[in-house]
Structure 1
Amino acid sequence: MRFDHIGVATRDAAALADLFGALLDAPVAHRETVDGLDVTFLDLGNGYVELLEPLDDEGPIPSYLDREGPGIHHVALATPDVAAALEMARDHGVELVDETPRPGAWGHDVAFLHPGSTGGVLVEFVER
């Protein structure tokens, strides 16, 4: 596995994309609407920053923003096989958020590990 991206919860993805674009020289690589979110990926050259702006008050990102405020939401690791990565995590006693891979941004399969089992970090596996 390798680092893929960090997910950042925000209430204003466009403004944060402008700021990070200027500060980090990180151009927008991809933008889409998925699962009630405006999702923007900024290219760092060796990974991405994923900006997650909710379009309504439903789902985990608005809840996260209400509870924690804006900031880093998750760390994503690229794997060639999300299902195998989930099985490995399960074998190590890690609690899974997703029992099976599901569609994510950019058309990739994804799955999350529960932060209670991973040192307080929400970990996402992304199949690239």
Structure 2
Amino acid sequence: MRVDHAGLATEDATTMVEQYTGLFDCSVAHEESFDGMEIAFLDLGNCYFEVIEPREDGAISAYLDRNGPGIHHLAVETDDIEASLETARDLDIDRIDEEPRPGAWGHDVAFLHPGSTGGVLLEFVEH
């Protein structure tokens, strides 16, 4: 496993993407509209920043209302998302997703509840 990306919630993805691509001399690897959000993945070489701007009410807009802009989640790449979820079950870690679901960029994803992971919303992602 390795860190795949950090999800960054913002109310203005365009500005954040412009700022971060300049600051880190990186490029946009992928952009899409997905599940009521505008998403851009910035390629940092060994991992990505996923810039997320909500376009409708949902989890990201609720996060922004509660916390303001910032790090929303940390994603870990796995070669076997089912086995990773099984390990979480065996360790009695609460899961938001009991089964993998479609995520951005065509990846399968599953989230673990931050109440069981030290306050960090963790995402398993399988490419």
How does the TM-score come out when normalised to structure 1? 0.98
Partner of 1:120: 119
Please list the CA deviations of residues 37-62 of structure 1 after superposition, one character each: whole Å capped at 9, or x if unmatched: 00000000000000010012x11000
CA distance in 2, matches of 1:26, 1:125: 24
What letter corresponds to residue 20 of structure 1 in structure 2?
Y
Partner of 1:20: 20
Partner of 2:38: 38
Moved over 4 A (4+): none
CA distance in 2, matches of 1:52, 1:105: 10
What letter corresponds to residue 89 of structure 1 in structure 2?
A
Deviation at 1:3, TM superposition (A): 0.7
* CA-atom RMSD in angstroms: 0.5
**Structure 1 unaligned residues grouped into runs of 5+:** none
What letter corresponds to residue 12 of structure 2 in structure 1?
D
Q: Is residue 60 of structure 2 the alignment partner of residue 61 of structure 1?
A: yes
How does the TM-score come out when normalised to structure 2? 0.99
Partner of 1:11: 11
Please list the CA deviations of residues 10-69 of structure 1 after superposition, one character each: whole Å capped at 9, or x if unmatched: 00111100000000112100000111000000000000000010012x110000000000
CA distance in 1, matches of 2:81, 2:41: 20
What letter corresponds to residue 71 of structure 2 in structure 1?
I
SS in 2 for 1:119: coil
Deviation at 1:83, TM superposition (A): 1.1
CA distance in 2, matches of 1:9, 1:94: 24
Deviation at 1:126, TM superposition (A): 0.2
- Size of the aligned set, in residue pairs, is 127
SS in 2 for 1:3: strand
CA distance in 1, matches of 2:58, 2:26: 28
CA distance in 2, matches of 1:33, 1:84: 29
SS in 1 for 2:46: coil
